[in-house]
Amino acid sequence: MKSRFRWIAALLTILIGLFIGFSFNSRETQAAKKDSSVLKIGMEANYPPYNWTQPKKTNGAVPIDGSNSYANGYDVQIAKIIGKRLHKKVVVEKTQWDGLLPALTSGKIDLIIAGMSPTAERRKAINFSEPYRKSTFVVITNKASKYSNAKKLSDFKGAKLTAQQGTLHYDLIKQLKGAKREPAMRDFSAMRQSLASGTIDGYVAEDIEFESYHSVNPNIIAVNLNKMAGFHVDHDDSVTSIGVKKGNTKLLNEVNATLRTISNKKRDQLMSQAVKEQPKAGNETKKEDWLVTTWKQYGGMIMSGIGMTLLLALVGTIVGFFIGLLVGIVRTIPTPTTRGKRWALNFVKWLLSVYVEIFRGTPMMVQAAVIYYGIAQFWHLNLNRTIAALIIVSINTGAYLAEVIRGGIISTPEGQFEAASALGMTHNQRMWHIILPQAIRNCLPSITNEFIVNIKDTSVLSIISVSELFFVGTTIASQSFKFFPTYLMISAIYLILTFTITRIFNFIEKRLEGKKNYNLMANQVQVGTPKDAEANN
């Protein structure tokens, strides 16, 4: 018993240590958030040359909140001009494309500068500034492709085309009669990769994406769509604007005033500079050096990604375990003899089953989005991202483990309950001293399982931009354009983590089982178990 407590104590100490380390980091950024002298810009930081992520603070990059990396690009340079005018320091909140609007409406960011077009649909949710970039639509395809000479819209008949998910580009494919519309993709790096590997014939994008990709891959060509007969795009759709929260007219006016001071010439200059500076897949040095260079460049990011993943999984599983214990205990309380208590207990039990049903019955990704953005929008509580992630993983795991532990409690022999009751123990004493130690030992394989699931499933938290291992992997892949090796490396890391943790838990399991032999107190003779004796016969 004692040694078990020591185990738990040791685990907790490590945990708290980790947690303090992390929260120190995040507290700094949190302090920065509250500071009104900071302008928080939302962008993917993954859409060169508009915006991208880089590990060093070169070429006038600005820090990305909650990470050790920096953002740069055309959007960032525009943001800096606005920040300068407002006398505010620019900080980038790296946010996935789908998360940008909710992040703005819930007040987690001040502006969206992400190469976003002010479509009518988006205008319903947020306000847009005057355009800061006007673009031409093109189909990007290989020079060798038969579609590279297309002259009219119908020339794309039979072409497998795609575009970025949730963008106008994807709808434009419909105007290319006869083209096969492939499923939309998450970002341009994925499309570039697909084009290179031949799974698509081309993708719809803006001319600037062509310029930027052309600088690293000269074998591609852009087919201009704007000039083709019958091609129609709203003015709103062909420009990119800055998103501002509705009602914040003061900021909107200031942004517009700033944009007016930036001449077209200056804009072109900024854009071509961005195209030049953007990260390149490049004619990379030597192939065998890939791992080494990646490590040199992104090692820190990977390590902190591993740390974050482990922290989330560990805290989530442990807190979830205690939630599960409490739920398990409450759910097995015997019916009280007085009516009031009976009613209260039934109500609490009902609440708990609602909790289990809801969190077991919805995807963690959805829970994360609802909790992180929802709380900010409706209660104006700005949760720290890491804290939010920890809470989400914990309550989600709690719901699963509640059932696991209930199963463990039920499978403990009835006689153990009865013997404890007959001694006059209260429900709590019965549970903590007799039933749970046995139930938990029986549940341990399931708990290990849940821990491993957590290590992998925390990857869905990338939706709220928690920089865990998968998020880091995506970033590296989209910057290095090395999809296969990057994800292979990330999966190897996941495998190492889960493998190690399985061994650790197996060890704990063995320890909990205790010794097979015992000493007779009278003569100190070792005696085997009756089973051993039987085996010998």
User: In the bound complex, what is the minimum distance in angstroms from residue 1's beta carbon to another protein?
Assistant: 8
Q: Binding of another protein at residue 144 (CB under 8 A)?
A: no
The rounded distance, in Å, linking the Cα atoms of 12 and 19 is: 10
The rounded distance, in Å, linking the Cα atoms of 453 and 313 is: 9
Question: Which residue lies nearer to another protein by CB, 183 or 514?
Answer: 514
Beta strands 160-162 and 202-206 are parallel
Exposed e or buried b per residue across 31-44, where buried means at least 16 C-beta atoms within 10 angstroms of its C-beta: ebbeeeebbbbbbb
Q: Binding of another protein at residue 6 (CB under 8 A)?
A: no
The rounded distance, in Å, linking the Cα atoms of 153 and 229 is: 7
**Which of the residues 96 through 125 are near another protein (CB under 8 A)?**
none
User: In the bound complex, what is the minimum distance in angstroms from residue 420's beta carbon to another protein?
Assistant: 7
Q: How far is CA 27 from CA 32, 34, 66, 307, 469, in A?
A: 8, 11, 9, 17, 21
- Interaction pattern, residues 398-417, with another protein; x per rule: CB under 8 A: ---------------x-xx-
R_g of the chain, CA atoms, integer Å: 29
- Interaction pattern, residues 473-512, with another protein; x per rule: CB under 8 A: ----------------------------------------
Selected range binding another protein among 174-182, 211-219, 306-314, 332-340, rule: CB under 8 A = 332-340
DSSP 156: G
Q: Binding of another protein at residue 535 (CB under 8 A)?
A: no
C-alpha closest to that of 447 among 391, 506, 404, 510: 404
C-alpha closest to that of 430 among 439, 346, 447: 439
Selected range binding another protein among 140-148, 254-262, 324-332, 522-530, rule: CB under 8 A = 522-530
Please answer whether residues 365 and 99 qualify as being in contact, where contact means their C-beta atoms are separated by less than 8 angstroms: no
Question: Which residue lies nearer to another protein by CB, 68 or 429?
Answer: 429
Using the rule CB under 8 A, which residue among 180, 214, 267, 441 binds another protein? 441
Using the rule CB under 8 A, which residue among 6, 266, 360, 433 binds another protein? 433
Q: Binding of another protein at residue 338 (CB under 8 A)?
A: yes
Q: Binding of another protein at residue 518 (CB under 8 A)?
A: yes
Q: Binding of another protein at residue 84 (CB under 8 A)?
A: no
Using the rule CB under 8 A, which residue among 3, 337, 526, 537 binds another protein? 337
Selected range binding another protein among 317-325, 336-344, 398-406, 451-459, rule: CB under 8 A = 336-344
Question: Which residue lies nearer to another protein by CB, 113 or 420?
Answer: 420
Total residues at the site for another protein (CB under 8 A)? 32
Using the rule CB under 8 A, which residue among 88, 437, 449, 453 binds another protein? 437
Question: Which residue lies nearer to another protein by CB, 229 or 525?
Answer: 525
C-alpha 472 chain-centroid distance: 9
Please answer whether residues 165 and 185 qualify as being in contact, where contact means their C-beta atoms are separated by less than 8 angstroms: yes
DSSP, residue by residue, 85-132: HHT-EEEEEE--GGGHHHHHHTTS-SEEEEEE---HHHHHHSEEEEEE
Beta strands 127-134 and 518-519 are unpaired
Beta strands 38-43 and 111-116 are parallel
Please answer whether residues 145 and 201 qualify as being in contact, where contact means their C-beta atoms are separated by less than 8 angstroms: yes
Using the rule CB under 8 A, which residue among 311, 434, 443, 463 binds another protein? 434
- The residues of the shown chain that bind another protein, judged by CB under 8 A, are 1, 337-339, 413, 415-416, 418-426, 429, 433-434, 437-438, 441, 514, 518-523, 527, 529-530
